Amino acid sequence: MSQLPEFLEIAERAVDLAVEVIEAGLGTDRTLSGKGDRDFASDLDLAVEDRLREHLAEATPDIPMLGEERGVTGDTGSDYEWVLDPIDGTVNFVHGLPMYCVSLALTRHGDPAVGVVAAPRLGERYSAATGLGAVLNGSTVACSTTGELSEALVSLPDFAVGERAERDNADRLRLIGELVPRVQRIRMIGSAALDLCWIGVGRLDATMLPQANLWDVAAGVVVAREAGAMVLDRHGEPYGAGSTSVLAMTSGLKSQVGALVAAIG
């Protein structure tokens, strides 16, 4: 783990390059390609991922990469793996909404250990590594101290699309029905990485992601953890290798959120 500061610097440089690619493409017409039922990638998603694959293959040739758009490449026998969502919040991006970001993590034995998230339109870059804390634009951050659901601003993910959408959205609607009378407000940001980073800076008090792809959450998990948040899966276990769901919250909300999620299955 002594290499984490070096890996964090590499990740920050890579994300800065990704932001350059995005900013160079702003103001031009975007093209979308379908990945399934109402799931899309833009041409810039692909351009960002290709640029970072090239950069990281040169900077860390022994570490493979899992990218949302291109899958896994490199030496899969390594203890480490780069995990990239080139643009988390693509639909927000193509509609001109500022809630999108580049999300790059490094996992060790499958558990996120380094995370860098940059939101270009917001002028924000979050960086964190295990044991090193979390920063926003160079300043240390910490999650809120909210301890009551009635005072909590809670985020939820977009509604599901694809083959399991009807069942998944029925579960999500049940969750919303349970949350509405118990929390201060609910928000749907459209970017899982930003949901988790905003837990880390105290803008949100909890987020519940019942199904979560690794590339969507890995970097944000590190930021939220290092900012003092509790980061679990939907079964109440610490988020780690193989986890497919995320509950992140202040420590004071852990028992209340856990009991609520357990009650609705």
Each domain of the chain, given as residue ranges in start order, spans 4-140, 149-264
| pLDDT value of residue 28 | 64
Distance of CA 170 to the CA centre of its chain: 23
Distance of CA 3 to the CA centre of its chain: 23
Alpha-carbon gap, residue 193 to 201, rounded angstroms: 13
Q: Of the candidates 219, 213, 237, 13, which has an alpha carbon nearest to the alpha carbon of residue 130?
A: 219
102 CB neighbour count, 10 Å cutoff: 28
Q: Which of 21-30, 146-155, 187-196 has the lowest mean pLDDT?
A: 21-30
* Both structure tokens of 235: 């079964």
Q: How confident is the model at residue 27 (pLDDT cuts 50, 70, 90)?
A: low
For the chain, the straight-line distance linking the first and the last C-alpha, in angstroms and rounded, comes to 36
Task: Annotate 106-131 with b (16+ C-beta within 10 A) or e (fewer).
Answer: bbbeebbbbbbbbbbbeebbbbbbbe
Alpha-carbon gap, residue 120 to 116, rounded angstroms: 13
Q: Judging by DSSP bridges, how do beta strands 133-136 and 111-119 pair with one another?
A: unpaired
Domain 149-264 has CATH 1.10.1060.10: no
Quickly name the fold that domain 4-140 has: Fructose-1,6-Bisphosphatase; Chain A, domain 1 (3.30.540)
| pLDDT value of residue 265 | 61
Phi, psi angle pair for 182, to nearest 5°: -110, -25
pLDDT tens digits for range 158-180? 887 777 888 888 888 988 999 99
Of 32 and 238, the one with more pLDDT: 238
Q: How confident is the model at residue 15 (pLDDT cuts 50, 70, 90)?
A: very high
How far, CA to CA in Å, does 173 sit from each of 25, 166, 232? 37, 11, 21
- Residue percentage of the chain with pLDDT more than 90: 72
Q: Torsion angle, CA of 243/237/4/139, rounded to 10 degrees?
A: 110
